[in-house]
Copies of this chain bind each other. A is one copy, B any other.
């Protein structure tokens, strides 16, 4: 569908391919969310991609056509909704690294947003896919912030896969839902409840 009218040299993939990398993962999450909604387990949606609209045509007898627009940087995460009365807010990340997840993959505005959500009693987390291992992990914001603090103190700028596995909740892949991340949320909530007990 994409034409390159002004380009003579062969097309090269734009630089921000980290955004595209998540595409397959995004599809799995979107299908899982549909499954959750249809089975009345949660109401979670992906937010639309933010677009700055510059020019719109109104051709006769047809609907408005946007003829000039640009992608904007999202100010929040991509997914939010309600589960068991709780506010749920997360972003999905995919890494092709083989040993550690680089913290630079999480943007400052996303960290800020997750921190605020967590402070207000929401469930804030990342779903991280280790592509080479075909493994998905739920990384709670509280855990992520520990690694961010370590990096800020001059420590390593990534989370080793060993650390991730020790501090995250594994997400099971299946058919329906494709990625049962809400069961990981359940285990997370159960462990929070245990911590809260005397």
Taking Cβ atoms with an 8 Å cutoff, the residues of A that contact B are 1-7, 11, 14, 37, 40, 42-43, 45, 47-51, 53-60, 63-72, 74-76, 80-89, 113, 116-117, 119-122
Q: Which residues of B contact A1 (CB under 8 A)?
A: 54-55
Is there an interface contact between A6 and B57, defined as CB atoms closer than 8 Å?
yes
In the complex, are the beta carbons of A48 and B47 less than 8 A apart? yes
Among B14, B60, B72, B120, the residue within 8 A (CB) of A82 is: B120
Whether the pair A51, B54 counts as a contact (CB closer than 8 A) is no
Closest residue of B by beta carbon distance from A7: B60
A37 to B, closest residue via Cβ = B116
Contact (Cβ within 8 A) A40 B7: no
A122 touches B85 (CB 8 A): yes
Which of chain B's residues have a CB closer than 8 A to the CB of A120? 42-43, 82-85
Give the copy number. Answer: 2
Residue of B nearest to A47 (CB): B47
A1 to chain B, nearest CB (A): 6
Contact of A121 among B58, B71, B85 (CB under 8 A): B85
* Residues of B with C-beta under 8 A to A83: 120
Looking across the interface, which residue of chain B has its beta carbon closest to that of A83? B120
Not counting A66-B66, A86-B121, a sample of 12 additional A-B residue pairs whose C-beta atoms are within 8 angstroms of each other reads A4-B58, A6-B57, A6-B60, A14-B58, A43-B113, A48-B74, A65-B68, A82-B121, A84-B121, A85-B121, A87-B87, A87-B88
- From A3, A48, A50, A72, name the one whose CB has the most chain B CB atoms within 10 angstroms: A48
By CB atoms of chain B within 10 A, which of A75, A80, A113 has the most?
A: A80
Chain B contacts of A84 at CB under 8 A?
120-121
Residues of B within 8 A of A72 (CB): 48
B82 touches A43 (CB 8 A): no
Closest to A88 in B: B87
A56 contacts across to B, CB distance below 8 A: 2
